[in-house]
Amino acid sequence: MLIKNISILFGDNLDYVSNTDVRIIKNKIKKINQKIKPISNEDSIDCQGLLMIPGFINAHTHIGDSIGKDISLNLTVDEKIHPVFGAKSKILKRTSDENLGNFMKNTCYSMIRKGITTFVDFREGELDGVILLQKILNDVPIRSIILGRMEFYQNNREIKKNLSFPTTKTAEFIKLLKKCDGIGVSGANENSTSILNFYSKSTKLRAIHSAETKESSNKSKKLTGKSETTRALSLKPHFLVHMTYASKTDLKLASKKTRGIVICPRANSALAEGIPDVDLMQKSGCILALGTDNVMINSPDMFREMDFVWKVTMGMHKKRIDAREILKMATVNGGKILNKPIGEIKSGKIADCIFLDKHALDLEPMHNPHASIVHRASESTIKAVMIGGKLVHGNL
């Protein structure tokens, strides 16, 4: 496929190129240049008036709770989403696979229409939960990274005693890992250091929630004398999620020992738990990506996520932040944290792209493309979505 006369955001700096041609062969971007001549039997599409940007990477989701939208608005964080006794856990256990699968599929289609081409899911339900998600994804053309989870949690006494992972569950864990892309751990406060060390031996992708709430941060110090992040790093995670209450020391450690942090500002706010300190995270050297988190409390919309974090962060710190950096959190940085060839419009990268109408009522005139995308664009401005070189939504 040859895409002619299109504007793009190029490379890892999302540089604006007003007019160029892009050749896609199979699932990858092969060449970007002006006036590329079509080769025999190649589809050539004139895309004058469109802007091609990298597909959004929703780097942290829980789409299993799609069936429970807004049912626990007035509960505490633990009452809503605690993995053992929270309302979410009860809903998932009581819901049939058929109903759960239908609403998860709806969420996947919702993400595609909003330009999300890859999502990373912390999947509950052990092996059965992973298999259910994989089953529904057979019919949905979205790129997924599934991080499985053992439904095994320790109490305070077991954590203090640093009890090990039970050998009776080792076979289950091995089966789980074979089926998914990695492991997504609920948090350090439900696992002893010994357990986290056991999980760290996995050669697949590893991630963990950390310092999401003030309560969880205080609990870790009271229980073990260590910060929640220090304990979470026992997993040797490739990335951490949330870090809303991480200290400067924690962030410095995270920048050295992980690929980055996935922040979920709207979810944190919806839970009345504050806003991650983006400025401090960036100053500490952390690479940041964005996630929309639980569907039960938050819509899977990266446009809303970018707009929210950009304006709230500027409001908190009373200084300007480059919109380009926020857009990187939704695209380029996700690819870096996941170590996947996605999130960029560049030769050799996978052709996951969003085509925006530059003449859309909310966008024209686009004096600053990065700012326009971050706080003006929406699902309505999308002309088409491409995943792996194939149009999966809209048309050109």
Is residue 278 over pLDDT 80?
yes
CA distance 123 to 202: 17
Q: Give pLDDT tens digits for 120-142.
A: 999 999 999 999 999 999 999 99
The CATH number given to 56-338 is 3.20.20.140
| Beta-strand relationship, 182-185 and 390-394 | unpaired
**Which tokens hold the place of 349?**
């990268």
Half-sphere exposure of 396 (CA within 13 A, CB side): 26
DSSP structure string for 237-300: -SEEEE-TT--HHHHHHHHHHSSEEEE-HHHHHHTT-----HHHHHHTT--EEE--EETTTS--
pTM (predicted TM-score): 0.95
Q: Where in the chain is the domain with CATH 2.30.40.10?
A: 2-55+344-394
Q: How far is CA 39 from CA 5, 22, 43, 191, in A?
A: 16, 13, 9, 57
* Residue 96 banded pLDDT, cuts 50, 70, 90: confident
Backbone angles phi, psi at 275, to 5 degrees: -125, 135
* Residue 80 banded pLDDT, cuts 50, 70, 90: low
Please determine, looking at this structure, whether the domain spanning 2-55+344-394 carries the CATH number 2.60.40.790.
no
Supply the pLDDT for residue 166.
Answer: 95
Q: Which residues contact 77 (CB under 8 A, 6 or more apart)?
A: 212, 213, 215, 271, 273
Is residue 74 over pLDDT 80?
no
CA distance 347 to 11: 9
Q: Where in the chain is the domain with CATH 3.20.20.140?
A: 56-338
Q: Give pLDDT tens digits for 175-189.
A: 999 999 999 999 999
Q: Give pLDDT tens digits for 283-309.
A: 999 999 999 999 999 999 999 999 999
**How would you classify residue 5: left for phi > 0, otherwise alpha for psi between -120 and 50, otherwise beta?**
left
CA distance 9 to 370: 9
DSSP structure string for 81-123: H-TTTSHHHHHHHHS-HHHHHHHHHHHHHHHHHTTEEEEEEE-
DSSP structure string for 126-190: HHHHHHHHHHHHTTS--EEEEEE-------HHHHHTTPPPPGGGHHHHHHHHHHSSEEEE--GGG
